[in-house]
Amino acid sequence: MRGGSGCSMRSKRRRDRPTRVGLGLALVAVLSLVGALAPATPAVVATAPAPGTEVAVDVVYLIDISGSIIGLGQSQGDLLPTLIQALVDEVYRTKAGTSLSVATFGDGLHDVDGQGAAYEEYRTFTVDPADLPGSRQRIVEYVRGLDRAVRQPGGYASRTALYDSAREIIERLDRSKTDWEDRHPGQVFSDSRIQKVVIFTDGLDNASKVWSREDFEREVAARAEHLFVKVVTAPGVAFPTIRGVPVETGFANRSVEVIPLPRSVHLGNVRALAQGEHAVAYMRLVAQRPIPTSRIDFAYSFPGIPEGALGLTLNPDVIDGDPTQVLVEVRVEVRDKEALDRAAVAAGRTAFTGRLILAAANPRVSLLPSETPLSFSYEPTGSVEVSPATGSGAGVFPKLHRPLREDSRAEVTYLLRFDEEARATGLCLVADFVWDERDTLGALAARTGARLVGFRWEPGGPPGAPPGGIPGPVVLGPGTERLTVVLTLPRELEPELPAGPHGGRLVLTASGGAELRFAGKDAGKVTGVGTGRLEVPLEARVPRPPLPAWAWLVAAAVVAALAVLVYLLTVPRFEPGQEVTVTHADGRRRSYELADEARHDRWKGSYVTLGSRDDAIDLRQEDRIGVLWAGRRRTVVFEPDPDLAASLKAEHGHDYFTVSGEPATGSRRFVLVSGDSVRLGRTHFTYHAGPEGEE
C-alpha cells in the first residue's frame, strides 16, 4: 500500500471535549500477564440483581458412578451420599428458568437401572418459574434415588471414560444449541443462554477410546463463548491440569460458579478520549444459584502500554444480596495521554489487547473462567467531506476516443475536506477502486493483469508519479485536498476492449471512529455516508472502434446497390384508366389506353411517343412532336420535341404548338393532370387520368 506523508500516529491535546463512551464486544487474542491480584478500591456495593435480561443457564451434572464412588475396590470410601446431598442443596437454590440435566457415566454414559426403568443415562429437567417448589422437588427426588439405584446389580460401572463421556454430553449440548438457534433466527445464543457442565469424579480417566485430554481441551476452547466446564474431584485425587477447565476438590460446600459474560470486552477507541476522560463497557456475572457476598479482586494489563497510562475500575466491585446476575461496569480512564501517544507510535499499531483477571475474595465464589480478554483501539477520529471537483454528479469519466493509437486516459477529480479533529488526530484515508461484479472491462483487467485505474493526489502525492497514477490501494494523509482517479486504456488492449458503459466504485476507508460524508449531485447513489467506508459509483463509457476504410467502401456499395434497386422498383408506370384522347382537325376523335401503348425505359419508366403526319396525330409515328412519360400520382409528363417546337414557332408563331395554353418549347417539361391538352394547330390531344384521377 502506497501513501503520502502525514499518516504517522500523532495527537494534539484537545480541551473542553465532551466525554465519549465506547461500547462494544469483540473476541481478541489473550496476551500474557504478569501481575498480582490486589483488592479493588474504592468498593461499590450492588444490593439488588442487575437490570436487563436474565441469562438462563443450561447446566449438566455429569456424575461418575464407577464402583469406587460407593466404596468398592480401591477407593476413598463411600462418597455417593455426600455428593448427592451437595447436589440436593444446589437444586433447592437453582434459579428459575434453568435447564438442569443429570447424566451418569462409567465406561461411557451409563443407565443405572437399565433401559425403560426409572432412570436414564441423560435426563433433563426444567426449574419451572410457574411451579418452582414442585419442579425443584422432582429433581431432588430423582437425584436422591440414585443412591439406591447405583448400588443395585448393574447400577455401577467398573471403569471411568471421563473424556468420552464428556464428548457425548458436549454433542448433546451442541444439538440443543442448534435447536435454539433454529427457533430464534438472527439471535445470538450466548446473549440469552449459556451452557455449563460440572463433572463429579473420584478418579482419573482410564477407559476413553475416542477423546484424549488434548481433544477435550480443544473442543472446550472451541466453544468458549457459551460453554463452561468444571471438574469437581474427591479429596486426594491428583487430577491432571486441563487448560480452560478448572478443578475443585471436595463435593460438599463447593463454590458457586460465576461466569463473566461476554468472553471478551472491547473498550472502544481510546484515542478519542482526552486526558481524564473514560470509556465504558459492560460485563455480566451470571450464576446458576445465588452468589454469596464477596468482593471482586482484579488485576489487568495491556502489554505495550506504560504502567499508569490507563486506569481500569469495576463498578460494582462488591457483590451483595445473593443475586444470580450482576451487571458490572468496566471503566477505562486515560491518565497519561502523552504516554499513550508515544506507546502507539512506538508500537506502530492501532489495536491493543490485554486481559482482566478476576478473583472473588470469598472462597465460596469461583469465577469460571477467571480470565477475560480486553481490547481497545487507538485510531484517529474526525470527519472528511468528499465532493466532485466540478460540482457534477457522483462520477462519470469523460468521453474516451478510439481507435487507440496510444494509451487513452480519462480523469475524475474529488475534493477532500478533513475537519479540525481529523487533522489533529492524523486521520488517514485508504483509496482504492473496485470494478462492479461481472463487469467485462474489470474482467479484462483481471485476466490480463492490466492496472487500468490509478490515483494522483495533492498535496502530498509522490513526485514523478506516472501519467496513469499510482495503483490502489493508496493512503491519503490529512493534508490531502484533491484526489484524482485516472482511467487508462492501454493501446495494446485495443482489440479486446469491450464497448459500452462500465461501472466500478471508488472506495474510501477511514480508520477508527471517523465519518465520511459526500456533498454533490447523485449523493443518493453513494453508499456508506456517515460511516468509515464510502463507496462512490464511477462509470466509464468505452466507444465502439471506428470501421476500417474497406468496411466503409463495402457499406457504401451496399447502400448504393439498395438505392438502385429501390429506384428500379419504383420508376413510374402507366396504370389502367390513364388514356389520351386525340381530336383531329376534321373532328374525328380517338382514345388510346396509355398502359397498352407504352414502352419502357429501365431508368426513366413508361412512355409513349406522340407523332404527327399530314395533320394526323398518330401515337406510333416516328416524326415525333414529343414524348409522354408516366408520372407519379396518376400524372403524366410531356416532353416536347425541341427541334419541332422551334421550327413551328418560327413558321406559325408561338401559339401554334401549346401545352395547356402555354407555348411548347424544347427547354421545359410539362406535368399534365387529368383534362390538360397539347395542341398542334387545329389538332390536339387531351390526357385523362381515369376514374381514380378525375378532379
pLDDT in tens, 573-616: 888 888 998 888 788 888 888 888 888 888 888 888 887 765 55
- What is the average per-residue pLDDT within 5-29? 35
Identify which has the larger pLDDT, 623 or 136: 136
Identify the band that residue 362 occupies on the pLDDT scale cut at 50, 70 and 90. Answer: very high
What percentage of the chain has pLDDT greater than the value 90? Answer: 46
Contact partners, residue 112, CB within 8 Å, separation at least 6:
65, 104, 119, 146, 149, 150, 152, 154, 155, 156
Interval 184-196: pLDDT, tens: 999 999 989 999 9
Is 2.60.40 the CATH classification of the domain at 384-542?
A: yes
Say what the pLDDT of residue 15 is: 34
pLDDT for position 394: 62
Summarize the confidence of residues 516-528 as an average pLDDT.
86
Give the pLDDT mean for 331-343: 92
Most confident of 431-440, 458-467, 660-669: 431-440
Which of 242-251, 401-410, 434-443 shows the highest mean pLDDT? 242-251
267: pLDDT strictly greater than 60: yes
What backbone phi and psi angles, to 5 degrees, belong to 414? -125, 150
CATH number of 20-30+261-377: 2.60.40.2310
Q: Which CATH class is domain 579-693?
A: mainly beta
Q: How confident is the model at residue 411 (pLDDT cuts 50, 70, 90)?
A: confident
> What pLDDT does 620 receive?
61
Strands of the sheet with 351-360, listed across from one edge: 45-46, 318-319, 294-301, 351-360, 371-377, 265-269
Average pLDDT on 413-435 reads 89
Is the pLDDT at 504 greater than 50? The verdict is yes
Residue 207 and residue 110: Cα distance in Å, rounded?
Answer: 13
Confidence of residue 692 (pLDDT cuts 50, 70, 90): low
pLDDT for the residue numbered 180? 96
- Other C-beta atoms within 10 Å of 426: how many? 22
Mean pLDDT of the chain: 84
Name, of 162-171, 558-567, 659-668, the range with top average pLDDT: 162-171
Higher pLDDT, 244 or 16: 244
C-alpha distance across the termini of the chain, in Å: 87
Instruction: Say which residues have a Cβ less than 8 Å from residue 2's Cβ, sequence separation at least 6.
Output: 462, 470, 473, 474, 475
pLDDT at 1: 58
pLDDT in the model for residue 73: 76
Please, which pLDDT band fits residue 546 given cuts at 50, 70 and 90?
Answer: low
Inform me whether the pLDDT recorded for 630 exceeds 80: yes
The reported pTM is 0.59
Lowest mean pLDDT among 145-154, 229-238, 496-505: 496-505
Q: How far apart are CA 242 and CA 229, in angstroms?
A: 10
Helix (H) or strand (E) holding 582, with range, is strand 579-583
- The mean pLDDT of 525-545, rounded to a whole number, is 87
Same CATH topology for 20-30+261-377 and 56-254?
A: no
Residue 46 pLDDT class (50, 70, 90 cuts): very low
Amino acid identity of 131? D
So what's the pLDDT on residue 40? 35
Q: Per the CATH hierarchy, to which homologous superfamily does domain 56-254 belong?
A: von Willebrand factor, type A domain (3.40.50.410)
Return the C-alpha torsion angle 7, 1, 482, 470, nearest 10.
150
Tell me the C-alpha distance between 211 and 607, whole Å. 110
Number of helical H runs and strand E runs in the chain: 11, 40
Neighbouring residues of 244: CB distance < 8 A, sequence distance ≥ 6: 217, 220, 221, 224, 229, 369
Among 14-28, 215-229, 440-454, the range of highest mean pLDDT: 215-229
Q: Where are the domains of the chain?
A: 20-30+261-377, 56-254, 384-542, 579-693
Q: Which residue has the higher pLDDT, 555 or 549?
A: 555
Instruction: Reduce the secondary structure of 504-522 to three states and give it as a string.
Output: EEEEEEECCCCEEEECCCC
